[in-house]
Amino acid sequence: MTAPPPKESTQGVEAYSAVANAMKLASSLVVSFGITIAVRQFFIPRTLGTERFGELNFADGFAGLFLVAAWLGIDTWMRKELGVTLKSADGIWGGVAVVRTVMGIVLTGAMVVTLKLLGRSDEIIIMAVVFAIAQLMIMTQNTASALLHAAGKVGGLSVVNIVGKLMWAAIVIPALFLNLPLMWLAVAFLVSETFKALTSAWLAKVHTDVTLRVDVKAAWRAIKDSTPFWVNNIALVGTGRADVALVGSLAVGILGSTTAADREIGWYTLVLGIAGMLMVVIPVIGWVLLPLLSRAIVRGEEEAAVIIRRAVEVCVVLGAPLSIGGFVAADELIALYKPEYAPSALVLKIMSFTFALTYLNVVAANCLAALGRGWTVTLTSISTLLITPLLDLIFVPPALRTWGPGYGAAACALAIVIAEIFTTSVMLRSMGRLAVDRRLLSVTGRTLVTCLAVIGVDFALKRFVPGLNGWLRVALDAVTYVTLALVTKSVRIAEARAFVQLAKAQRSARGAEAPA
């Protein structure tokens, strides 16, 4: 038997309409991330080696760190406010574009001066400038996407994501085969993101009544209202980017050369890339959850609580196997690269604990934003921004001095784990009963038991069957996880089947009942 549809017809229709949009976006992300896995996450590091791969990511990370302030937090604000009406966005879009352009110019100039003072080469500085411009293109695309999500017109975005990624790969692959300078990889990223930005902006103009008219007053009001999201973006993105810049700077002094520092960055950013691949659904969560929750809150907090609890539960069910999989398969995954990437295996084992936490973190942040508690998210993220570099400064130098190359990257991973635990705990506690019920606690408990059992099986296989093929061991771990998840009912097949059936059925219902 299948589960009955939700009692509230409107809530059910909107939820499954949101799921349908999520499935469209996720399908395009799966294709584009498939290209990314093949090219960026495998072909590029294998071709470049740890040193050049570290140089590329240092330039990219530095650009992201400096340009993060230009995000303004406006996209999150739009998804929250425009989930109810699109009318308020007219004039804001153009005004935000002007503000971002001015900020981008100023911040890029500051970045160039900083890199000069750090003694970085002209090639890295120019690459960082190219990546900075690409960051502005990403911001433009995200704002246009926020409008399209609010309008429920996401089909075109799916095509844009795939075409943009194909354009990027079409430049990167020949550049690597021809052994062209690293600059070509930065240019490929800029070309791809520019195409996606311009096309997304055109789609937003076609499918909504919002224009690029500049209304400075309206834009300024929106930016002021977005302040908590803005500060939160700076804290979240700054934390990840600061790690790359910090470990690179510390390693130069301790290991004695920029070459050694770039290798350290290469080991660390390789794992960050793998983590990014496993977080493929995270963008969809914000795109879908904020508008959905905004409408539910209008009807009542209890209705929103149901959505919040099930969203947190999905994070537990999806995130736990990713974390366990990353832990038990770390050596095998890194072995797919060159032997010089071997130190990344330890980094991945440590970082894997953040996979489930990151899903929970993103969902909690979006839920708090929809509930009007944006400053709770912001203050938590600021705390994380302060804690993570402090932990890096505590862990990285002694790790490099005591154990040598590779352990600076591992120390950074440990700092991220501690910071994620802190952030997720604070935000879940802030939501209280809205996020937690008996069912969630039960599912979480059963999932933890399953995870611990799989780690025990993996340890036993390594110790008592030493000649066992690594991938076969991982396959046995996977079978153990699935079996225990079904036996303990932390994953319920009947509910998953009913969910899919209702998601398919929502299209006809939407035509009759969904709000305009």
* Domain map (residue ranges) of the chain: 9-436, 437-508
- C-alpha 69/C-alpha 48 separation (Å) is 31
Residue 432 tokens, joined: 């209280």
Token reading at 305: 């609580």
Q: Which residue, 496, 462, 491, is CA-closest to 320? A: 491
Res 188: pLDDT: 94
Locate the DSSP E strands across 331-441: none
Structural contact between residues 274 and 348, judged by C-beta atoms closer than 8 angstroms: yes
Please state the pTM of the whole predicted model. 0.73
pLDDT score at 477: 94
The H or E element spanning position 422 is: helix 407-431
Give every CB contact of residue 492 below 8 A, 6+ residues apart in sequence: none
pLDDT at 362: 78
User: How many CB atoms neighbour CB 445 within 10 A?
Assistant: 12
What are the helix and strand counts (H, E) for the chain? 20, 0
Contacts of 354 (CB under 8 A, 6+ apart): 275, 323, 416, 417, 420
Total Cβ atoms within 10 A of residue 217:
10
pLDDT of residue 73: 74
Per-residue pLDDT at 151: 67
CA–CA separation, 377 and 364 (whole Å): 9
pLDDT of residue 494: 62
The whole-number pLDDT of residue 513 equals 40
The H or E element containing residue 208 is: none
The rounded distance, in Å, linking the Cα atoms of 283 and 302 is 26
Calculated CA dihedral for residues 128, 129, 131, 132, nearest 10 degrees: 120
Tokens 């009406």 map to which residue? Answer: 85
Contact 388, 416 (CB under 8 A): yes
Torsion of CA 412, 416, 418, 422, to 10 degrees: 150
- Looking at residue 401, its pLDDT comes to 92
- Alpha helices (H) along 178-300: 183-207, 216-225, 227-255, 258-278, 282-299
Question: Sign of dihedral through CA atoms 276, 279, 285, 287?
Answer: positive
Quote the pLDDT of residue 305: 79
| Residues in CB range of 432: below 8 A, 6 or more apart | none
Task: Return the pLDDT at 58.
Answer: 87
Positions in the chain short of pLDDT 50: 1-20, 23, 84, 499-500, 502-516
* Alpha-helical runs (H) found in 432-492: 438-464, 470-487
pLDDT at residue number 3: 43
- Cα–Cα dist 249/397, whole Å: 11
Q: What is the pLDDT of residue 239?
A: 67
Rounded-to-10 torsion of CA 95, 96, 97, 102: 100
- The whole-number pLDDT of residue 490 equals 72
